[in-house]
């Protein structure tokens, strides 16, 4: 949501408020309303696209029916503008009675019946970013218990209309309150996005102890420029961001806008690859009822999702930036595998990029096999010193899943020496 808070340090809260919920051991996946549907509350003129229980039921149906759920896209997340304009007489948050006539508990039951999970939105300030009732410090325990009683599975906690002091007390307090409900509720914090300045102002050790994921940067918009600004910010600050990501606590560069209006097919493929290399949560914000086949193919790429969900949970890094405007990103994966992304910031024509694995710091001791994540093409017998050439389209990527198959000092296959559960095999899409 729009950032309206003030600068404050995260170091003011105690370290004893650990999250301890055991959730999100791999980056969460699902659907989130905000980027595509914003705060459209005009259900009379636009009943198909307004923020209402029908919209979330429709998306739950699509996730359950169109192959998304089986791939891991299980969260159906409400964002701002779901509440009535005032709390009820007892001070409880209540959904808008016209747009959510059945209530949030009924919506959660509907989502759960389809094997999915429901996320909801609140704000530590006096108001939400769109001007709906906020969750001030004196309401945190009450709202956490309400969400648990409704059967909510995830909370996104925003920071509009709040002071730095409110954030420093409120974000850890909500973590403790969610734990106290006894219901496992994943916790998404927007706290760092309100701190301003560079990441060193943020106590990421504390953040990882109280949140499952956190927004670091401004809202994504439906444009390639917006995607590029996020990638650049994450790359510039990767020395701070990369070490704190891992199972149960993730840097969140914001939603996937694939399937909307602002990205070409090449740019869509790039966003998916770059979010995957960053071990990012994969929350789509698009209309799944009318999504194109090409966008669906990108978002449902099984090898891409396998890489994103790698159990080691190591966030990738940009390791090389060429004068040709080709950038190379690397993410270590389990079982000695890796993911490589060759990303073009060029806008003129496809570029023939020649390099070697040795130049990308791969060991000379192994022979490697690579699989192109988008085409499925396999290259076998690749030694670290061997030069290879790939063609990267403007604003596009080539992404490889790469694994060692042989140790050069040994006359037999490296793979044969591995226990069966440690072997890496080519992936069939």
Residue 239: how many other CB atoms lie within 10 Å: 10
Tokens encoding 93: 């948050």
> What is the edge-to-edge ordering of all strands in the sheet holding 282-284?
250-252, 213-215, 186-189, 154-158, 117-123, 75-77, 29-32, 282-284
Q: How far apart are CA 361 and CA 377, in angstroms?
A: 23
Going by C-alpha positions, the residue among 402, 346, 396, 394 that lies closest to residue 370 is 402
First to last CA, the chain: 36
Q: Which of 66, 219, 287, 365 is catalytic?
A: 219
Coil vs helix vs strand at 20: coil
What is the spatial distance between Cα 234 and Cα 409, in angstroms, rounded to a whole number?
39
Would you put residue 153 in left (φ > 0), alpha (ψ -120 to 50) or beta? Answer: alpha
138 among known catalytic residues: no
Cα angle, residue 35 at apex, residues 33 and 38 outer, rounded to 5°: 70
β-bridge partners, 184: none
Q: Which pair of tokens denotes residue 345?
A: 């910031």
Helix (H, G, I), strand (E, B) or coil at 356: strand
Catalytic residue status for 158: yes
Of 15, 160, 177, give the one whose Cα is nearest residue 81: 160
90: exposed, middle or buried (Cβ count in 10 Å: 0-12, 13-18, 19+) = exposed
DSSP state of 139: G
Choosing from 79, 123, 153, 158, the catalytic residue is 158
Q: How far apart are CA 23 and CA 302, in angstroms?
A: 22
Q: Where in the sequence numbering do the catalytic residues fall?
A: 158, 219
């Amino acid at each position: 949501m729009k950032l309206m808070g003030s600068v404050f340090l995260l170091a003011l809260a105690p370290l004893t408020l650990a999250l301890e919920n055991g959730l999100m051991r791999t980056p969460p996946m699902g659907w989130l309303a905000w980027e595509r549907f914003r705060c459209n509350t005009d259900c009379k003129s636009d009943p198909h696209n307004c923020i209402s229980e029908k919209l979330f039921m429709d998306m739950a149906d699509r996730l359950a029916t169109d192959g998304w759920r089986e791939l891991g896209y299980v969260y159906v997340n409400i964002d701002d503008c779901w509440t009535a304009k005032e709390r009820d007489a007892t001070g409880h948050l209540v959904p808008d009675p016209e747009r959510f006539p059945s209530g949030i508990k009924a919506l959660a039951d509907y989502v759960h019946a389809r094997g999915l999970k429901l996320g909801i939105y609140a704000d530590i300030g006096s108001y939400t970013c769109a001007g709906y009732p906020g969750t001030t410090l004196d309401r945190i325990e009450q709202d956490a218990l309400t969400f648990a009683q409704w059967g909510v599975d995830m909370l996104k906690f925003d920071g509009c209309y709040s002071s730095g002091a409110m954030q420093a007390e409120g974000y850890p307090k909500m973590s403790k309150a969610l734990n106290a409900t006894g219901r496992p509720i994943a916790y998404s914090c927007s706290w760092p996005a309100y701190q301003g300045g560079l990441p060193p102002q943020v106590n990421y050790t504390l953040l990882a102890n109280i949140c499952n994921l956190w927004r670091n940067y401004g809202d994504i918009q439906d444009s390639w420029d917006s995607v590029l600004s996020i990638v650049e910010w994450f790359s510039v600050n990767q020395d701070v961001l990369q070490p704190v990501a891992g199972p149960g606590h993730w840097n969140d560069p914001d939603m996937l806008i694939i399937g909307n209006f602002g990205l070409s097919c090449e740019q869509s493929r790039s966003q998916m690859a770059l979010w995957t290399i960053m071990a990012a949560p994969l929350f789509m914000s698009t209309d799944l009822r009318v999504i194109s086949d090409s966008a669906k193919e990108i978002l449902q790429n099984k090898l891409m999702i396998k890489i994103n969900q790698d159990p080691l949970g190591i966030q990738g890094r940009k390791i090389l930036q060429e004068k040709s405007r080709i950038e190379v990103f690397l993410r270590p994966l389990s079982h000695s595998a890796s993911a490589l992304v060759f990303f073009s910031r060029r806008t003129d024509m496809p570029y023939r990029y020649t390099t070697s694995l040795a130049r990308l710091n791969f060991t000379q001791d192994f022979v490697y096999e690579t699989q192109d994540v988008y085409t499925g093409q396999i290259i076998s017998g690749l030694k670290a010193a061997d030069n290879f050439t790939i063609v990267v389209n403007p604003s596009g990527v080539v992404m490889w899943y790469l694994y060692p198959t042989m140790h050069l000092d040994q006359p037999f296959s490296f793979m044969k020496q591995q226990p069966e559960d440690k072997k890496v095999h080519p992936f069939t899409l």
